[in-house]
Chains A and B, each alone.
Chain A
């Protein structure tokens, strides 16, 4: 699909970055919780 510069989906790209940041944060929190329960953190 040929897009003009102003038609590029910049907003969706930022939404996806926010999604990845939340995903990583939640992942890390879970690993941290596991390490505390197993006393290896």
Chain B
């Protein structure tokens, strides 16, 4: 029992080896967020045509690293911390096989480090997608494989811990909803990361000159089972974090847990299929294949999001109404704890993900409409709404609770923490919106020079200049908001008042 401490705030037993792993994964996640954020600022200042900071070669190199640092490293390291938190801590259990947890961390760290170095030295100017026949240095693919295997091990530790908790009777009844959501995310993660391993092992061998090149179409199909499905791990974890934040900030509990659990199962069954929208303009697959996967099956995952989109705010509304805020239709919303960064992160994340990211995801993923957005700025506009305004903001809100509960320190600079979600969330929504507007007028994505540097020139509507300027300004402010989060987190660890 000496390996446990009792949390003075929640009363939960915290297994100390689990706590160490949560801390190290969370800190590493924030380091990658910082790196990815600095690169993001450089991207903004290049795509903002009036500034156009970086030369083309450096832009593509750093865009590759920005995608990996943000879409993969920051989020999956944070998710590893969340898996250990929602299994060992929420279930009052010991963490199963902590050494495997450390192996997870080391593999992900070494893999992420190798990828970072190789990209920075110019060995992998292949963008996040690394579509064959673009070839990177073999170590790049090896780094990705090590990272993916490490993350799979983290999921194995999570499930082993759930089994240990059940066997040792540390909880009764069904899994708590947050842990259930995390379990669904872990299943999706195993599916996703297996795709990563499957696609990158032959690519590694090809890059090393051992086998012939892979078929480009097959690569794209399997790659997106990793590349997009990794964002579905985020969606599932984000929703679990929403329920957790609702509970921690206003004491909410779901109106109907069975419906919420069913929605999570819909994610497991159908959300990975959503990755097929990346091949909607590819000639190699039949129209029927594309339509079934992106216009029918995918909508069952969308249905799950619709259920959560009502369930999460409704649960918080009921909790606030039970506290007496029952006047009119929206008194509960006016009296919600807007100064609590956990609540403001939750609400802004809901709005950003639902109104901007979710709607555009469904629209752009529809076969006929996809042609309007494919390879223009509408797509990064969409996924900055889902992954940044949605997932990242929710994870920031979750961090404001991990700091006192796991690191046992009071959040530093509480005044700044109160406004940080607004400083980050509102600009990033503006950034996404105006990125989508510019994309709607034909501005290409993944392009160092929108006016063309390959012997062609393009003319745009004047709306494009205005849109890119608003996008640039709001992107810079959002970077400041992200930097504020990193400053608060680091300061909390270094100078935050210790909670006894």
On chain A, the residues within 8 Å of B372 by CB distance are: 30, 33-34, 37
Closest chain A CB from B323 CB (angstroms) = 10
Interface residues of A: mostly helix, strand, loop or mixed?
Answer: helix
Task: Indicate if the CB atoms of B359 and A34 lie closer than 8 Å.
Answer: no
B residues 359-375 near A (Cβ < 8 Å) are 359-360, 362-363, 368-369, 371-372
On A, residues with C-beta under 8 Å from B are 1, 3, 6-16, 19, 22-23, 26-27, 30-31, 33-34, 37
Binding site for A on B (CB under 8 A): 253, 255-256, 309-310, 313-315, 317-318, 321-322, 326, 329-330, 332-333, 354-355, 359-360, 362-363, 368-369, 371-372, 440
B373: nearest chain-A partner, CB-CB: A30
Beyond the given A8-B321, A37-B372, please list 14 additional residue pairs across the A-B interface where CB-CB is below 8 A: A3-B318, A7-B322, A9-B313, A9-B318, A9-B321, A11-B317, A11-B333, A12-B313, A12-B314, A14-B329, A15-B313, A22-B355, A31-B369, A34-B372
Identify which of A6, A8, A16, A26 contacts B309 (C-beta below 8 A). A16
Q: Which residues of A contact B317 (CB under 8 A)?
A: 9, 11-12
Contacting residues, chain A, for B368 (C-beta < 8 A): 34
Cα distance, A33 to B372, chains bound together (Å): 8
Q: Which residues of the other chain, A, contact B354 by a CB distance below 8 angstroms?
A: 19
CB distance from B352 to the nearest CB of A (A): 12
A30 to chain B, nearest CB (A): 5
Q: Closest chain A residue to B315 by CB distance?
A: A9
Contact A19-B321, Cβ < 8 Å, known A9-B255, A26-B363: no
**Which residues of A have CB within 8 Å of B314?**
9, 12-13
Q: How far is the CA of A38 from the CA of B313 in the complex (A)?
A: 40
Would you give the shortest CB distance from A36 to chain B, in whole angstroms? 10
Q: In the complex, are the beta carbons of A19 and B322 less than 8 A apart?
A: no
A5 to chain B minimum Cβ distance, whole angstroms, is 9
> Known: A1-B318, A3-B318, A16-B309. Contact between A22 and B359, CB under 8 A?
yes
Rounded to whole Å, the gap between the CB of A14 and the closest CB of chain B is 6
Query: A26 and B359 in contact (CB under 8 A), knowing A7-B318, A12-B313, A34-B369?
Result: yes
Nearest-neighbour CB distance to chain A for B363, whole angstroms, equals 5
B310–A12 touching, CB < 8 Å: yes
Given contacts A16-B309, A22-B359, A34-B369, whether A10 and B322 have CB atoms under 8 Å apart is no
Q: Do B371 and A34 touch (CB < 8 A)?
A: yes
Q: With A1-B256, A12-B317, A34-B368 in contact, is A6–B330 under 8 Å at CB?
A: no
Chain B proximity of A39: nearest CB distance (Å): 14
Contacts of A27 in B (CB 8 A): 359, 362-363
Roughly how many angstroms separate A8 CA and B332 CA in the complex, as a whole number? 11
Residue of A nearest to B440 (CB): A33
- Interchain nearest-CB distance for B358 vs A (Å): 8
The answer to whether A11 touches B318, judged by C-beta atoms less than 8 angstroms apart, is no
Q: Least Cβ distance of A10 to chain B in Å?
A: 5
Q: Shortest CB–CB separation between residue A23 and chain B, in angstroms?
A: 5
- Residues of chain B within 8 A of A34, CB atoms compared: 368-369, 371-372
